[in-house]
Structure 1
Amino acid sequence: MTELKFNFTALQLIEYENLQEESIENIKKWCATQAIPQPTDELIALFLLSCNRDEERTKTTVIAYYRIKNKAVEIFNNRSVNLPEVQEVLQIGYFCVMPRRTVDGCAIVCIKAKPNTNDDKHWSIRPLLKVICMMLDAAIYEYPPKYFLIIFDVKHLTLKHLSRIKPKVIKIFLEYLQEGFPSKLKAIHVINMVSILNKTIKLLKPFIKKDVWEMTKFHSKKMDWGKFYRECVGTDNLPEEYGGSLGSFEIVHEITLQKLNALEDFFLNEELHRRVVTADVSGEDTED
């Protein structure tokens, strides 16, 4: 079986994150009784941290992780920034993992639609979600963040962009974030909110759990940036377009793509690790 290696070890998480080795062993023994691959100690440690060390919640998350990822293969398999469909997605927006974490260990991921993009480009929603999930995994690979903070800047979103969004596919992404994601969300900020997005949000709201909905904040184009800096994210952790000190979106986007490209072997190994499954947890991607 392909070994899935992160940039940290389970022993480091035991020492620095107050994890119990006994809990890792308990989950490992339980996994051996399930129709799933055997996770590494590091992956088990991630699940435990994401569930606040609750072993029963961890078991539920482990099952969801493999079930969802092996169902939505067009999102979670064959992950490479060099794929033609991914390259098309990268032309319509900036995809940024901020190179600096907050003082409380929060990783920030930002997706911003580019201005004046050609609406007729043949991009689709699955490669878009593939890139976002690659970004999340890239941040976890380095060292598990305490939380994730996700920013969607929709200022330049158009009706043609929205026509590409498939609620059934977005539902899979939301299910993963809420049930199978081996980390924790702190907040989701939708920046430069546009009215044309209201109908889509209304369609998606039934699929969003109450706690996730409550941490989702919508900001108008006239938002109070001073308040945002004080209450949400400081300028040290934002690009210069938002009044921050991290350089431009273009720069952070390019740095992010370099990281994703460097992690191609990791993405492949993660996929190979998941292939050792039975019909109980595998399946086909949902149709549009």
Structure 2
Amino acid sequence: MRARLMQCSEDEKRAVLKHHDCTEEELEQLIDRIKEWIVKANLPVEENARNKYRTALLNCKLSLERAKECLRGYYHIRTIYSDFFDMLVPNTKDYMLAKQLVKMAFLPKLSPDLSRIAIVRIDDPQGQAPDGLFYELIPILNTELRIATEDYFLSNTIIIDLEGFGLKNVIKYTPTVNNILVHLMVSINLRLQGLHFLNTPPIMDKVMFLVKNFLPTKFINKVHAHKNADTLYKFIPKECLPENYGGSLQSLEDLHEDWCKASESQEEFFEKLLTVKCEGDLSDMRIKDNDSGFGVDGSFKKLAID
């Protein structure tokens, strides 16, 4: 799967390790320490989870303590929002609808700055999704597949294509849905290189002006709005993008289909993930509608953007 969906050359792997001043043996030792900690912390013990632990460490610049918080957040949100995560099984009715309404793929090539790029585009002109969370079903399925695969990277770049995104889609994002989405983001400590909104409507300028009033400046500097792909190329070279974005890779539709086929062939893997839940009652850690949306009682790390 790795060679087909995500590529990372030996040179790129060495560059990532060199950036962190770490050898492969030292990274494996950190993974062993996390494996031991998972048991002591009474978190779910999974078979073959080393790639997941490696991804957590790389997202946290190899900080052992931050990686632990990242994994704790990951297991907590799978438990807290189990009604949603229980939908994350391929070949179901919900899955078949979701794969039509959202096109998403992690791109096979790392960017020159060793960032793993993801593109998401909602194709739901009739507003068929029951709510905004439904649009996250495919992205999170693909993310689970990604973190279960060996990969080396320095950061993550997300492109959200807003072409065709209209009022019927906007109304799906209720305050409750938005708070849950923020909770999911801050709980996993994603190291973000850039968040790019592509094919933005004119109103996006007004939205960006409003959000700048309450988001950290350092985060705002990572967010970019593009009316078309021409300005996107200043950040991401064409050779790292799909052909329908002016690049040399397969089209987003073809890449999306490849990821869907990979998910559909791993149904047993996703069935096992349904049992990955923490013990005890974590319901009091859900974000409430009147919460700020940037953490729960200081329990989770904020989004890593440096």
Do the two structures share a fold, i.e. TM-score over 0.5? yes
C-alpha distance in 2, partners of 1:86/1:199?
Answer: 34
- Structure scoring higher RCO (CA < 8 A, sep ≥ 6) equals 1
Return the offset for 1:203.
Answer: 8.2
Mark the CA change 1:206 to 1:86 in structure 2 (over 3 Å): closer, same or farther. Answer: farther
C-alpha distance in 2, partners of 1:206/1:70?
Answer: 33
Mark the CA change 1:155 to 1:278 in structure 2 (over 3 Å): closer, same or farther. Answer: same
Equivalent residues of 2:119, 2:159 under 8 A apart: yes
Partner of 1:57: 66
Return the offset for 1:243.
Answer: 0.9
Partner of 2:224: 217
C-alpha distance in 2, partners of 1:266/1:282?
Answer: 29
Partner of 1:270: 273
Equivalent residues of 2:59, 2:191 under 8 A apart: yes
Mark the CA change 1:94 to 1:46 in structure 2 (over 3 Å): closer, same or farther. Answer: closer
Matches within 5 A, 1:124-273: 124-146=131-153, 147-181=155-189, 184-196=191-203, 211-221=218-228, 225=230, 227-229=231-233, 231-272=234-275
Partner of 1:32: 39
Equivalent position to 1:279, from 264, 278, 281: 281
Equivalent residues of 1:73, 1:285 under 8 A apart: no
Return the offset for 1:194.
Answer: 1.5
Residue 246 of structure 1 aligns to a residue in which SS? coil
Q: CA RMSD in A?
A: 3.5
Equivalent residues of 1:98, 1:109 under 8 A apart: yes
Return the offset for 1:162.
Answer: 0.5
Percent identity of paired positions between Structure 1 and Structure 2 = 21
Return the offset for 1:91.
Answer: 2.7
Mark the CA change 1:283 to 1:86 in structure 2 (over 3 Å): closer, same or farther. Answer: farther
C-alpha distance in 1, partners of 2:213/2:283?
Answer: 24
Partner of 1:67: 76
Equivalent residues of 1:174, 1:207 under 8 A apart: no
Return the offset for 1:286.
Answer: 7.2
Return the offset for 1:190.
Answer: 0.4
C-alpha distance in 2, partners of 1:270/1:173?
Answer: 20
AA aligned opposite 2:272 = N
Equivalent residues of 1:73, 1:284 under 8 A apart: no
Return the offset for 1:130.
Answer: 1.9
- 1:10-59 per-position Cα deviation (integer Å, ceiling 9, x unaligned): xx999964644443343334333324223544433332222122222222
AA aligned opposite 2:183 = E
Mark the CA change 1:42 to 1:53 in structure 2 (over 3 Å): closer, same or farther. Answer: same
C-alpha distance in 2, partners of 1:160/1:197?
Answer: 16
Residue 37 of structure 1 aligns to a residue in which SS? coil
AA aligned opposite 1:65 = Y
C-alpha distance in 1, partners of 2:232/2:256?
Answer: 22
Mark the CA change 1:21 to 1:113 in structure 2 (over 3 Å): closer, same or farther. Answer: closer
C-alpha distance in 2, partners of 1:19/1:173?
Answer: 34
Return the offset for 1:218.
Answer: 1.2
Residue 32 of structure 1 aligns to a residue in which SS? helix
Matches within 5 A, 1:95-106: 95-106=104-115
C-alpha distance in 2, partners of 1:107/1:125?
Answer: 24
Return the offset for 1:153.
Answer: 0.7
Return the offset for 1:250.
Answer: 2.5
What runs of 5+ residues in structure 2 fail to find an aligned partner?
1-5, 7-12, 290-306
- 1:235-288 per-position Cα deviation (integer Å, ceiling 9, x unaligned): 12212221111233322222221122123222222332x23522248987978x
AA aligned opposite 2:222 = M
TM-score for the superposition, normalised by structure 2: 0.73
